[in-house]
């Protein structure tokens, strides 16, 4: 599983040699740890066009002070007021002089406005920000990330800004995230008493959590204060128990494809559920010409049909409480497609469809948000089983030139599950280091 190339380029002779050979130069990413909870350096707040946003309170709570003479950890460019092509020049004028000063593993966050269907000049200029963001992400290097947030209300976007402007978003780049307006009544999503444990008092169920990404998600949600339920198939019960014990949670041995899986979860959680993470997933790769029907059916069943069935059941029975969160797991294979994965690509694209359609209704009818994470190449047992050459290609073919870690998907999930993320709904956020596929 270890990325030996990343280790090699972390040494002076290795860096010298690989540079001479014109090989990729992955930077060691700064990730969240209790000892290093914020980015090192200051924040630069710039504006292009005339903005009506009051960002100061939200930015003040990111924990990064204003950039002074020291290094710049992050740049926030408020381009919500860019309404025409002329104003786009201000994007260049604002960022061009400061980019060199942004530290390694630093952040550039561009803020945009929703596209105005009644003003095609505004829409052109705002859409231009997407091409800009994605291109800058591909060229900026040194482990720095670039993302675009479309918003109307700075307060509603606070949890998103905190995430993007922290080490927790190390492997999220080239993304466009839409944040809606704050919802009433605000009492549904009370501000957590302890900002370091935003999920305290909440119950989170993670499917497929006996190992891999699911285990990391359970761990991160437990860190954030949730009581976690570690669900996995009966064959993995021992591992699930081990994870649950370590996190002070409970294990639930259940095959999500069981017809009554929703009812069994509801029975195991008589007090209800706040966070539902659909992480369980399988691959059964073959080119379509060689693929027996069982391989097709099993992948569609685990990755999509069971997700639809249990989501419906848990919403209908009211097991998922108001203010709840659903985070499903898609994949870049469901966005870009992948040879040998017609079944998997179909199932993960189905997850995207589910999220887009259900999100507005689930919020209106149940007060529950529905989002997806779409991992790219993540270092797990699943990807360790991929043949070496394909594995190396998968690892390097992204703007950060390395694979992500389960913790990267877990941190993204925790942001979506945060009580203050109620305005983030219907989003599919890739955790892929800006994969060159489908980016
Ligand atoms: P993994 O194989 O390491 O873990 C998956 C877990 O799901 C296992 O513990 C397994 O027992 C459990 N599971 C499988 N079928 C189940 C069922 N019917 N009911 C309950 N549990 C079940 O995989 P991973 O790499 O940790 O991937 C987790 C998720 O992320 C999957 O949905 C996967 O498709 C997705 N994903 C992973 C990557 C990657 O690079 N690793 C990339 C994109 C998407």
Closest ligand 1 atom to Cα of 303 = 32
Helices (H), 3-84: 4-9, 12-20, 56-60
Within 13 Å and on the Cβ side, how many CA atoms surround 247? 32
Pocket-forming residues, ligand 1, beta carbon under 6 Å: 207-208, 210-214, 232-233, 236, 255-257, 279-282, 302, 329, 331, 375, 377-378, 380-383
d(CA 87, CA 152): 19
pTM, to two decimals: 0.96
Which pLDDT band, with edges at 50, 70 and 90, does 136 fall under? very high
Annotated catalytic residue: which of 163, 344, 377, 415? 344
Nearest CA to ligand 1 atom 39: 378
Mean pLDDT of 132-146: 97
Let me know if 5 is a catalytic residue. no
Which residue of 336, 382, 394 sits with most ligand 1 atoms within 8 Å of its CB, as the best mutation to test the pocket?
382
Closest ligand 1 atom to Cα of 306 = 18
Nearest CA to ligand 1 atom 10: 208
**Beta strands across the sheet bearing 42-49:** 42-49, 72-81, 102-112, 145-150, 176-178
Cα(63) to centroid(ligand 1), Å: 34
Nearest CA to ligand 1 atom 16: 280
Contact between 344 and 285 (Cβ < 8 Å) = yes
d(CA 364, CA 369): 9
Mean pLDDT of 85-98: 97
Cα(255) to centroid(ligand 1), Å: 13
Contact between 408 and 170 (Cβ < 8 Å) = yes
Q: How far is CA 116 from the centre of its chain?
A: 26
Which residue of 3, 172, 213 sits with most ligand 1 atoms within 8 Å of its CB, as the best mutation to test the pocket?
213
Contact between 66 and 43 (Cβ < 8 Å) = yes
pLDDT exceeds cutoff 60 at 92:
yes
What residues contact residue 20 under an 8 Å CB cut-off, 6+ apart? none
pLDDT exceeds cutoff 60 at 278:
yes
Closest ligand 1 atom to Cα of 344 = 34
Which pLDDT band, with edges at 50, 70 and 90, does 71 fall under? confident
The domains of the chain, with CATH numbers, are 4-26+40-178 (3.40.50.720), 203-431 (3.40.50.720)
Phi, psi of 98 (to 5 degrees): -105, -15
Which pLDDT band, with edges at 50, 70 and 90, does 192 fall under? low
């Amino acid at each position: 599983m270890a990325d030996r190339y990343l280790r090699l380029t972390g040494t002076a002779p290795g860096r010298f040699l690989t540079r001479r050979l014109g090989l990729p130069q992955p930077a060691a990413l700064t990730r969240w740890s209790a000892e290093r909870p914020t980015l090192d350096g200051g924040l630069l707040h710039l504006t292009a066009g005339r903005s009506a946003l009051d960002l100061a309170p939200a930015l003040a709570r990111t924990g990064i002070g204003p950039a002074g003479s020291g290094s710049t950890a992050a740049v926030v460019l408020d381009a919500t007021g860019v309404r025409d092509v002329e104003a786009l020049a201000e994007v260049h004028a604002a960022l061009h002089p400061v980019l060199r000063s942004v530290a390694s593993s630093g952040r550039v966050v561009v803020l945009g406005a929703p596209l105005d269907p009644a003003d095609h000049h505004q829409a052109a200029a705002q859409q231009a920000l997407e091409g800009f963001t994605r291109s800058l992400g591909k060229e900026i290097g040194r482990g720095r990330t670039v993302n675009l947030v479309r918003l109307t209300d700075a307060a509603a976007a606070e949890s998103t800004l905190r995430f993007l402007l922290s080490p927790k978003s190390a492997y999220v780049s080239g993304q466009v995230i839409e944040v809606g307006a704050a919802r009433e009544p605000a009492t549904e999503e009370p501000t957590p008493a302890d900002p370091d444990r935003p999920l305290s008092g909440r119950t989170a169920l993670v499917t497929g959590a006996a190992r891999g990404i699911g285990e990391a998600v359970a761990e991160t949600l437990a860190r954030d204060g949730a009581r976690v339920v570690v669900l996995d198939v009966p064959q993995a019960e021992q591992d699930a128990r081990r994870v649950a014990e370590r996190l002070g949670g409970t294990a639930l041995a259940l095959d999500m494809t069981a017809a009554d899986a929703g009812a069994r979860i509801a029975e195991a959680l008589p007090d209800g559920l706040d966070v539902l993470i659909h992480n369980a997933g399988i691959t059964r790769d073959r080119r379509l010409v060689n693929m027996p029907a069982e391989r097709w059916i099993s992948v569609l069943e685990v990755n999509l049909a069971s997700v639809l069935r249990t989501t419906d059941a848990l919403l209908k029975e009211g097991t998922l409480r108001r203010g709840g969160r659903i985070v499903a797991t898609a994949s870049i294979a469901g966005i870009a497609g992948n040879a040998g994965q017609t079944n998997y690509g179909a199932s993960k694209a189905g997850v995207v469809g589910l999220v887009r359609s259900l999100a507005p209704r689930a919020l209106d009818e149940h007060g529950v948000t529905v989002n997806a994470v779409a991992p790219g190449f993540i270092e797990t047992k699943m990807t360790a089983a991929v043949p070496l050459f394909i594995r190396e290609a998968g690892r390097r073919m992204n703007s950060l030139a390395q694979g992500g870690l389960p913790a990267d998907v877990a941190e993204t999930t925790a942001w979506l599950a945060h009580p203050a993320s109620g305005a983030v709904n219907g989003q599919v956020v890739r955790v892929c280091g800006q994969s060159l596929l489908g980016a």
